[in-house]
Amino acid sequence: GSRLAAGLCSLEELTQKEDADGTSLASAMRSVDIDPLRASSEPWDPAQWAAFLELHIEQGSVLEAQGEPIGVVDLVSGSTRLRLQVRGRASHTGGTPMHLRADAMTGAAEIVLAGEALANDARHRGTRVTVGQLTVQPGSITTIPGDVKVYVDVRDVDSDRQRATAAEVVSWSRAICDRRGLGLSVKVLADASPVVLPIWLRQVVSRACRGCGVRYRVMPSGASHDIQMINQIMPSGLIFVPSRDGFSHVPSEWTSAAQIAVGTDVLAKSLVALDADLA
């Protein structure tokens, strides 16, 4: 959505991007009466906007741990997303001796652990490497996996370190597969650089916090947000409220109404200040 709003997503991309069932994003949009051609050709006009502010839960546990009600975000992590397809040989689990196997799953498992080791290396301090999804074929308990797709997310606030870590993940994966006699293909699914948010807009939000008598912390965001796209066409800022236990994108995600109210007060005061300053 924010990529469309910022004019950063073409009709061709909407047509080519498909879900696991092969349904294109353009087709899905049409199914709910959204015209993909119009959506991709009519972005927001930055001349009609002075700035953009987003209020969001932290999706982490820093604010809760420090007892601080507001986070003023100074930069947003970049993200490189990879699909590593490990190819082995599917065969029967009982009929194939261990020394004759080409098990794509054991190769994938080693890749997962290699990614964790890379992220924990002192050279990559602050880097996050996560495997959040695996697809295994043929998917039978009695069949050695012949094909495993490993979906990797590399995040960092430093763009050079982000790309270097992603390259190392690929290099280590190739070495693992070569040693195990497995094939490997790599596809970059997405690559977004870290975004430094405007200092003056952070200062507006910080003053709003002080005006509301609210303690705040200037902090980075490890998660991606709409402002990464919107900031490319207009000045953008991001305000965090706490997440209980850092949970996000799960049913246990929770922020209290009182915490949301504090965030809303800071947002409103920031908007009033922006209106006065930029009028």
Which residue range forms the structural domain that includes residue 253?
Answer: 44-76+194-278
Do residues 165 and 255 share a domain? no
Say how far apart CA 190 and CA 194 lie, in whole Å. 13
Do residues 104 and 184 share a domain? yes
pLDDT in tens, the chain (279 residues): 889 999 988 999 899 888 888 899 999 999 999 999 999 999 999 999 999 999 999 999 999 999 999 999 999 999 999 999 999 999 999 999 999 999 999 999 999 999 999 999 988 788 999 999 999 999 999 999 999 999 999 999 999 999 999 999 999 999 999 999 999 999 999 998 999 999 999 999 999 999 999 999 999 998 888 998 999 999 999 999 999 998 998 999 999 999 999 999 999 999 999 999 876
**Which of 192, 226, 258 is where one domain is finished?**
192
Q: Residue 28: which residues within 8 A CB-CB, separation 6 or more?
A: 19
Structure tokens at 78: 């970049």
Do residues 86 and 168 share a domain? yes
Do residues 4 and 71 share a domain? no
Do residues 56 and 23 share a domain? no
One-character DSSP codes across 10-73: -HHHHHH-B-TTS-BHHHHHHHTT--HHHHHH----GGG-S-EEEEEE-SSSHHHHHT-SEEEE
**What CATH number corresponds to the domain at position 242?**
3.40.630.10
Say how far apart CA 26 and CA 37 lie, in whole Å. 9
**Which of 192, 221, 250 is where one domain is finished?**
192
Do residues 180 and 266 share a domain? no
Say how far apart CA 267 and CA 120 lie, in whole Å. 36
> Which residues make beta-bridge pairs with 53?
237
Whole-angstrom CA distances from 77 to 49, 155, 158, 162, 184 are 25, 6, 8, 9, 28
Q: Which strands make up the sheet holding 128-137, listed edge to edge?
A: 128-137, 147-156, 78-87, 183-192
Do residues 50 and 103 share a domain? no
Q: What is the pTM of this model?
A: 0.83
Do residues 14 and 68 share a domain? no
| Residues 150 and 134: beta-carbon distance below 8 Å | yes
pLDDT in tens, 42-88: 999 999 999 999 999 999 999 999 999 999 999 999 999 999 999 99
211: nearest Cα among 256, 276, 273: 273
Q: Provide the pairing of β-strand 70-76 with 195-196.
A: antiparallel
Say how far apart CA 85 and CA 187 lie, in whole Å. 8
Give the chain's domain count: 3
Do residues 221 and 251 share a domain? yes
112: nearest Cα among 167, 182, 173: 173
- Cis peptide bond upstream of 138, omega within 30: yes
Say how far apart CA 197 and CA 177 lie, in whole Å. 40
- 174: helix, strand or coil: helix
**What CATH number corresponds to the domain at position 149?**
3.30.70.360
Classify each residue of 143-169 as buried b or exposed e, where b means 16 or more C-beta atoms within 10 Å of its C-beta.
ebbbbbbbebbbbbbbbebbbbbbebb
pLDDT in tens, 256-271: 999 999 999 999 999 9
